[in-house]
A and B are shown apart, each in its own frame.
Chain A
Amino acid sequence: KAGVTQTPRYLIKTRGQQVTLSCSPISGHRSVSWYQQTPGQGLQFLFEYFSETQRNKGNFPGRFSGRQFSNSRSEMNVSTLELGDSALYLCASSPGQGIDGYTFGSGTRLTVV
């Protein structure tokens, strides 16, 4: 059974550019969450989707957006990148609405230069 797949694994972008990260959940999982992980801030919640609907959103600026498709795959987009956006972005999926615990992907390491 394939795990949560995140692409790309590594990304280097220039300040001001935009980036799209992709997440394919475990087959049958309908809930997808996104987190930003940095050494100083730990794991910060970005957003969660269930059946294509955003259930909740973290305290991030509007430059951070996401969506979920009918096949449960999800993307997140960051526009007008800033140096402080450099982080590991983690996607996690769950069968239902999150109470089963999450399976995390390996993450996308974004570096903004």
Chain B
Amino acid sequence: AQSVAQPEDQVNVAEGNPLTVKCTYSVSGNPYLFWYVQYPNRGLQFLLKYITGDNLVKGSYGFEAEFNKSQTSFHLKKPSALVSDSALYFCAVRDMGTNAGKSTFGDGTTLTVKP
């Protein structure tokens, strides 16, 4: 079975400070990992993905994520947070093995950036 854990329900940071939203995963095979963002009253938007290659992937809106195979983590990061980054963030994993055709999402982390 595949699973995703986002250990923090809420993350609060001050504008201009770096931010990290944590994600750990479990899959039987090689993971495909994703981050999505959901703004209030709007649909989920794709931010970035890790398929293979460099462990640091860059995505939309200045976000990046670091894949760590030994720690089975895929933390989302941004060097300098903006108030407009305040939203609900979801990590997702996809296994191309026995669970092909299924993406599992974490429970989400609410990011609040204060001016």
Contact = CB atoms under 8 A, between A and B. Distances in A.
A42 B96 contact: no
Given A101-B46, A102-B46, A104-B45, A56 B107 contact: no
B42 A98 contact: no
Contacts of B106: 42
A56 B49 contact: no
A75 interface: no
A33 interface: yes
Contacts, number: 60
A106 B103 contact: no
A8 interface: no
Interface residues of B, number: 23
A101 B34 contact: yes
15 contacts: A4-B43, A33-B103, A42-B90, A42-B106, A45-B104, A56-B99, A90-B43, A97-B100, A97-B101, A98-B32, A98-B94, A98-B101, A98-B103, A99-B96, A105-B43
Interface of A: 4, 33, 35, 42-43, 45, 48, 50, 54-56, 58, 90, 92, 97-107
- Return the 4 tightest CB-CB contacts between A and B, nearest first: A55-B101, A56-B101, A43-B105, A56-B102
Interface of B: 32, 34, 36, 42-46, 49, 51, 90, 94, 96, 99-108
